[in-house]
Amino acid sequence: MDDKLKNNLKRFLISLMVYAIVFTFFDYFEYFNDKIDPSIIFISFFPLIWGPWGIAGLFIGDLIGRIPCVFVKKTLTVPETVVFSLTVLLISIFIYKLYYSFDFNKKISTLHLYEADNLIKIILIICITNALYVFLHIYFVMIYSEISFQRSIMDEFINSYVFITNVSLIFSLLFVSIAGLRNFNIYKPKTTKFRVSKYFKPFYNRLKPYLKPYFGFIKYSKFINLMIIVYTIALFITGTTFLLKGTSDPAISTSILFNLGFIIFLVVFKPITKNVVIKKNRSFNELVMFILIFISVFSILASIILSSMQNDSFFENNTFFNLDKVINVLNLYLNYKTTFLQIVVTFGISIGVMYYLQKHFSKPLITISEIAEDYVLNRLDGIETLKESNEKLNRSLETVLGELDVLSNNKYDVGFLARSFKEMIENLEFYMDNLKKVEREKERIDTEISIASKIQKNMIPNVFPPFPDRLNEFDIYAINIPARNIGGDFYDYFLVDDDHVAIVIGDVSGKGVPAALFMSMAKILINDQTLFSLRPSEVFNNVNEKLIANNNSNDEFRFLTAWLGILELSSGRLTYVNAGHDPPFIFHNSRDYSILTGESCLLLGYMNNVSYVQNETTMYAGDRLFLYTDGITEGINKNSEQFQKDRLLNVLNKNKHTNIKKLIFKIKKDLDDFTSGVEQFDDETMIILEYRKKLNY
């Protein structure tokens, strides 16, 4: 069983049980038996808050409640029970459809007293329903009792109508206001069609050609409303004739019943053509309505108690509280015209107060809320082109500011709220315009950075194998992964001449564009100076002086670590110089990888007049040289542990005979597994050279 069905069954059972309990209470006290049926208290409430499920509970509860009257007390016959219960069912559907199929202000909302229009609508519907209910009740009593019309019956009709209207207005509106304050889950009706259209619509289609010249504006649904009005006027005329004659003329009686039945028929089967608005939030008007109704009920009960206490029989048999006598006084009191006038005055004041609150508080606040919602939706609404979007927002903005200007004239706090909201929108628009400019500037910068990143990637050689015609002598593979779009790490390799290949790696201080520019300059300088000298120490001496000169002319100081090696291919002689960079690992004589020792000198671009020391070693066929930046060894995992040189050396030794390309990617995979879930914060660069002289390919 789904949740929706469970909720509906709860509504049905609650309405059934509440009605059965109240019916038993009313049936026990004889003072109510001839004056009011208990269903009149809930006949407006349960159908309107719980729809068909409340109606079903009311009807079944009525049938169950009347069973003792038929089989135990024998005050009712089975036909009378069926007729009275069907009357309850019919009136319940009537009030339900009357509320949800007619509108005052071009919208229909669930049962809440947050607008004066809703209050007026509920009061009118209760009064109309009570008149129909009392008429049908007395009419069927006359039929079963075979009593002809008398003046006393009319008096009974008026007294009964005044009494049940007093009771139903007080209790129904009290329950409705409580439901609004407690934010009950109210049933939302669905739109329906006219269920007897196949029988009724052909009749309408035949009349339409004759009606159109005079009533061309009348649509099918409006035609139904017109029919209801016509039969209501006919009912009023026949009823007036019935009263003036003072007799039970069968023709007039039949006409009244026919007109009344057809009105009920049209309303019961009238379709709900509009979507019902659900009022979810509580309203201040509902609180005001509850207070006014509570004061009215309290004053009526206080008057009843005072009247009862003046009666000598109130303290009968040493019983402090004689409920029978209290109910008797209540029955008499609620029939007084003064009580009816008191209720009319109370609801009149309530309607006036609600209209005032609605005009000066509720509607302006709802308007401000709708303006805010529309403004946000327009801001979020996706339009195909930016031009169309701007035009829509400008039109919306003008409308919004115009409405807020009108609301700003309100002399209460709502006016201050409207002015504040208007200022907020104006400031927000100003901020949004500036934000757009910033976003456009950011997009421009991002585009330029993207272009710079592509330029930087093209500056770093990335074609492998780099020298396919010389694979019998050496091979190189490398990767460079910036932490951002552009980075400060670089590597390079190039042939100085036919017998010498240079390999270089560097890491510039800082991140972003400045580091990338400095890196580009350093790479170009190292490349140029290497072409003029085969001595790495001399290359770094010259590059350092040029970088120092450039650093002195800029506000932001930059430097870099670098390692440069020149391999003589014919002999395997490797000369190299280290400017503060992590020393590389060398795979030598088919042994494990080890650190290539050598003197480390000062950083490039940090200080002038530095003498860089050159180191030298010999590589043999099968030897490898692995260079890297600190982004590899300083990679951090979730436990703030670094990858470190030991792990790197372990990976190298486990894969020392692996192809150099696969070896690079193996190291990268192990590093990614180690730092899984942690964002990369430094550039990652690796380059490996394999010397192959004298190998047979």
Q: What is the dihedral of CA 82, 88, 89, 91, to 10 degrees?
A: 140
| Chain segment 504-557, per-residue pLDDT in tens | 999 998 777 788 888 888 999 999 999 888 899 999 999 999 988 877 655 567
Read off the pLDDT band of 176 (50, 70, 90).
Answer: confident
Asked if pLDDT for residue 335 goes beyond 60, the answer is no
Q: Which two structure tokens, joined as six digits, stand for 559? A: 């430097």
pLDDT score at 32: 46
pLDDT score at 673: 92
Read off the pLDDT band of 425 (50, 70, 90).
Answer: confident
**DSSP state, residue 360:** I
Three-class secondary structure of residue 628 per DSSP:
strand
Asked if pLDDT for residue 355 goes beyond 90, the answer is no
Asked if pLDDT for residue 324 goes beyond 60, the answer is no
Tell me the range of 8-22, 455-469, 657-671 where mean pLDDT is highest.
Answer: 657-671
| Chain segment 195-223, per-residue pLDDT in tens | 555 556 666 667 667 666 555 545 656 66
* Residues facing residue 500 across a β-bridge: 497, 568
Tell me what percent of the residues of the chain surpass a pLDDT of 70.
68
CB atoms within 10 A of CB 273: 15
Residue holding tokens 């109510």?
32
Read off the pLDDT band of 318 (50, 70, 90).
Answer: very low
User: How far apart, in whole angstroms, are the C-alpha atoms of residue 130 and residue 172?
Assistant: 12
Asked if pLDDT for residue 577 goes beyond 80, the answer is yes
Q: Which of 322, 301, 300 is nearest to 311 (CA)?
A: 322
**DSSP state, residue 34:** T
Asked if pLDDT for residue 429 goes beyond 70, the answer is yes
pLDDT score at 348: 73
Asked if pLDDT for residue 616 goes beyond 90, the answer is yes
Q: Which two structure tokens, joined as six digits, stand for 348? A: 């009149």
- Mean pLDDT of the chain, nearest integer: 76
Average pLDDT over residues 374-383: 60
Tell me the range of 50-59, 205-214, 228-237, 344-353 where mean pLDDT is highest.
Answer: 50-59
Average pLDDT over residues 43-47: 77
CB atoms within 10 A of CB 483: 17
| Cα dihedral sign, 140-146-149-151 | negative
Read off the pLDDT band of 308 (50, 70, 90).
Answer: low
Length of the chain: 697
Tell me what percent of the residues of the chain surpass a pLDDT of 90.
24
Average pLDDT over residues 269-294: 70
pLDDT score at 31: 42
Whether the CB-CB separation of 532 and 497 falls below 8 Å is answered with no
169 or 581: which carries more pLDDT confidence? 581
- What burial letters (b/e) apply to 71-99, b meaning 16+ CB within 10 Å? eeeeebeeebbebbbebbbbbbbbbbbbb
pLDDT score at 395: 46
* Residues facing residue 676 across a β-bridge: none
User: How far apart, in whole angstroms, are the C-alpha atoms of residue 585 and residue 628?
Assistant: 9
- List phi, psi (to 5°) of 590: 60, 20
643 or 361: which carries more pLDDT confidence? 643
Q: Which two structure tokens, joined as six digits, stand for 119? A: 């209050």
pLDDT score at 539: 95
User: How far apart, in whole angstroms, are the C-alpha atoms of residue 425 and residue 375?
Assistant: 9
In sequence order, what DSSP letters do the residues of 524-551 get, joined into one string? HHHHHHHHH-S-HHHHHHHHHHHHHHHH
Whether the CB-CB separation of 133 and 165 falls below 8 Å is answered with no
30, 69, 130, 141, 295 from 72: Cα distances, Å: 16, 6, 29, 20, 41
CB atoms within 10 A of CB 494: 15
CB atoms within 10 A of CB 555: 5
Cα-to-chain-centroid distance, residue 479: 47
Q: How many Cα neighbours within 13 Å face the side chain of 212?
A: 6
pLDDT score at 385: 38
Measured at the CA of 296, the angle between CA 290 and CA 302, to 5 degrees, comes to 130
Whether the CB-CB separation of 663 and 671 falls below 8 Å is answered with no
Three-class secondary structure of residue 489 per DSSP:
strand
Q: Which two structure tokens, joined as six digits, stand for 182? A: 């407690």
User: How far apart, in whole angstroms, are the C-alpha atoms of residue 46 and residue 187?
Assistant: 10
In sequence order, what DSSP letters do the residues of 67-109 get, joined into one string? HHHHHTS--S-HHHHHHHHHHHHHHHHHHHHHHHH--SSS-EE
Asked if pLDDT for residue 1 goes beyond 50, the answer is yes
pLDDT score at 678: 87
Read off the pLDDT band of 448 (50, 70, 90).
Answer: confident
User: How far apart, in whole angstroms, are the C-alpha atoms of residue 174 and residue 180?
Assistant: 10
Q: Which of 565, 558, 523, 573 is nearest to 543 (CA)?
A: 523
Asked if pLDDT for residue 316 goes beyond 60, the answer is no
Using DSSP bridges, classify how beta strands 600-601 and 573-579 pair: parallel, antiparallel or unpaired.
parallel
pLDDT score at 544: 93
Asked if pLDDT for residue 111 goes beyond 80, the answer is no
Residues in CB range of 21: below 8 A, 6 or more apart: none
Three-class secondary structure of residue 230 per DSSP:
helix
Of 206-215, 236-245, 580-589, 687-696, where does mean pLDDT reach its minimum?
Answer: 206-215
* Residues facing residue 561 across a β-bridge: 507
In one letter, which amino acid is 682?
D
Radius of gyration of the CA atoms of the chain, in A? 47
